[in-house]
Amino acid sequence: MIMRLSFATLASLALATTACAREADTATNNAESAVVAGAAAAVSQAAAPAYDFPEEAWRDLDPENTLYIETTHGRIVVELAPEFAPGHVERMKTLARDQFYDFLIWHRVIEDFMAQGGGSRANPNHGTDLPNLQAEFTLARGPELTISELMQRPVSPSIPQVGQAGFWNSFHAGTQPIAQAMITATGQVQSWLLHCEGAAAMARTNDPNSAGSQFYITRGDAEHLNATYTVWGRVRHGQDAVNAIEVGTLFQDPGFTPDVIRSMRVEADIPEAERTNVQIVDSNHPSFNGYLDSLRDADGALPDVCDIDIPTRIQD
């Protein structure tokens, strides 16, 4: 059966997803809130990969599309994905450069699920005065933007359609099979970045176009949000810091003392001596296929895509 996804379809599905709606209790001044749920899996950051990659398989992050989020638990380095979410990426960079997030808090943090930031101690509904963002849940793409199709995978529990999953530019991604582009009116298929652990995405209400400034980073897989919430980046270093953020919800959990977002900056604006030089393995390099083969079980099957780590390292 051909999977047919559109922004309109996904919007209506998002509005009908009661599980998400039940979690969307933290509205912002721009009518934005967090709604996310999932299961945990530990991610090793900057560890030496078991597979021996050649030097040319490693790539640097683009400083203009990398965010540094400073926390009491350490620096979180997030690579941005403007190809998939240009509006959201631009908003995050704008707010970071305006120092909007400095000294705001992680006001809603759920174990094995996500850490939501952008609220304040006085008002967890704190938000930007900028206009709300249009949803960028999925990307319409043709063959020129390649996503590997490694396994069949349901889009999400709330979208009972089967697509393909693999990698785009070292991001975990889902997609309609590119072969279906030949039978679509536009010659394109719908693709989306996955809510695997370490996904950075935008919070919103049941209105698909209500995101403004509050964001979340997943502490576990949140499959039910795939293709109905905008993923704009991925943690490349510091997932341990994300997982260490104090758990609780402001004004709901007695005794909860939220952790602070000390600052958020675009890497390009940081002096080179103060940067964390993260390199990741390029999923487009031929050696990545050998790495995947090393992960196959006795029957030749790969782990679930969310359980496949992208190796990282820190260069001095």
pTM value is: 0.86
The pLDDT averaged over each successive group of 10 residues in the chain (316 residues) is 41 37 36 38 43 97 98 98 98 98 98 97 94 98 96 93 97 97 94 98 96 98 96 98 98 97 98 98 98 97 98 94
Q: Which CATH number is 300's domain given?
A: 2.40.100.10
Tokens of 185: 């009116």
pLDDT at 30: 37
State the pLDDT at residue 40: 37
Instruction: For residue 72, tell me if it sits in a domain.
Output: yes
Whether 1 is in a domain gets the answer: no
302 to 56, 85, 203, 292, 296: CA distances (angstroms): 24, 28, 31, 7, 5
- Residue 233's alpha-carbon distances to 19, 53, 70, 149, 193, in angstroms, are 24, 24, 16, 20, 9
**Does residue 21 lie within any of the structural domains?**
yes
Give whole-number Cα distances, 311 to 50, 84, 177, 274, 291, in Å.
Answer: 9, 22, 26, 23, 10
**Structural domains in the chain (count):** 1
Is position 2 within any domain? no
Residue 184 lies in domain: 7-269+276-314
What is the residue type of 83?
Answer: E
- Answer yes or no: is 57 within a domain: yes
How many CA atoms within 13 Å lie on the side-chain side of 13? 21
